[in-house]
Structure 1
Amino acid sequence: MAKDKKIAIKDAEITNNCPECFNQELKITFYQKHTYNAFYHKTTDEVTHEIKCKKCYSIIYPVNWTPDIERVFEYYNKLVTPDKTSVRFTTLFFIILILAICGVTAGVYFYLEGVK
C-alpha cells in the first residue's frame, strides 16, 4: 500500500495579524506530496500550503485571509521552488526485475534445449 507524505519545502514567519487572536506571529508552510511504496518513491508536483498562528495554534483558511495575508501569500508562493517530479525505484524492485529476467532466460534456454 502506498503511503503519502507531505514534506515541508518552505517555511516562513510572517508578521500579519491573526484573524482569530490578532497576534502578529503567523507561520506559512509549503508542502510537497511524496508517495512511498515498496517498489518506488515518487515525488509529485502537488504543492499545498498552510498558514498557522503561533499563539493560538489555529489554521487560517483562505476564507479568513485579509488582503495583507493574500499579498504575502502570493509573494511567498512565487518564491517556492518544488523538487522535480521523479520516480526512484527501490532495491526490491530491481531484485524482482533481475529474478524475472533470469526466469525468462532460463525458460527460453530450457525450451530451446528441449526442442533439439
Structure 2
Amino acid sequence: MAKIIMEVIKEAELTNNCPECFNQELKLSFYQKHSHGKFVHKVTNEVSSEIKCKKCFTLIYPVTWTPDIERVFEYYQKTAIPQKSATKYTSLFYILVLIAIFIIAAGFYIVLNKENLF
C-alpha cells in the first residue's frame, strides 16, 4: 500500500480579513501529492491549496472568499511552482529485478546445458 504525503510547496501569510471572525491572520498553503510505496516513489502534478485562519482555525472555502482573497490567491498560485512529476524506483525494486534476471538466466543455462550437467 502506497503512503500518500501532501508536501508543502509554498506557504504565505495573508493580511486579508477572515470571513468568519474578521481577523487579519490568514495562512495560504499549497501542497503537492507525493506517493511513497515499497517499490516506487511518485511525484504527481496534483496540487491542492487551503486557506486557514490562524485565530479561529477554520478552513476558508472558495465559496466564502472575498474578491480581495481571490486576487491574492491567484497571485500566489502563479508563484507556487510544483516539482516536475517523476517516478523513482526504490532499491528493493532493483534487487527483485536482479533476482528475477538471475533465476531466468540460471533456468536457461540448465535447459541449454542439460546433457553436460549429468
- Indicate the residue corresponding to 2:109 in structure 1: 109
TM-score, normalised with respect to structure 1: 0.97
- Indicate the residue corresponding to 1:95 in structure 2: 95
Q: Distance in 1 between matches of 2:98 and 2:115?
A: 26
After superposition, where does 1:11-50 map in structure 2 within 5 Å?
Answer: 11-50=11-50
Residue 2 of structure 1, CA deviation: 1.0
SS at match of 1:19: coil
What is the root-mean-square deviation of aligned Cα atoms in Å? 0.9
- Indicate the residue corresponding to 2:9 in structure 1: 9
Note the residue ranges of structure 1 that are not aligned, 5 or more in a row.
none
Q: Distance in 1 between matches of 2:115 and 2:27?
A: 72
TM-score, normalised with respect to structure 2: 0.96
Q: Distance in 2 between matches of 1:21 and 1:115?
A: 86
Residue 79 of structure 1, CA deviation: 0.4
Q: Give the partner amino acid of 1:86.
A: A
Note the residue ranges of structure 2 that are not aligned, 5 or more in a row.
none
Identity among equivalent positions (%) equals: 58
Q: Distance in 2 between matches of 1:112 and 1:5?
A: 49
Q: Deviations over 1:35-73 (max 9, x none)?
A: 111001000000000000011110000000000000000
Residue 32 of structure 1, CA deviation: 0.1
Q: Give the partner amino acid of 1:91.
A: S
Residue 115 of structure 1, CA deviation: 5.8
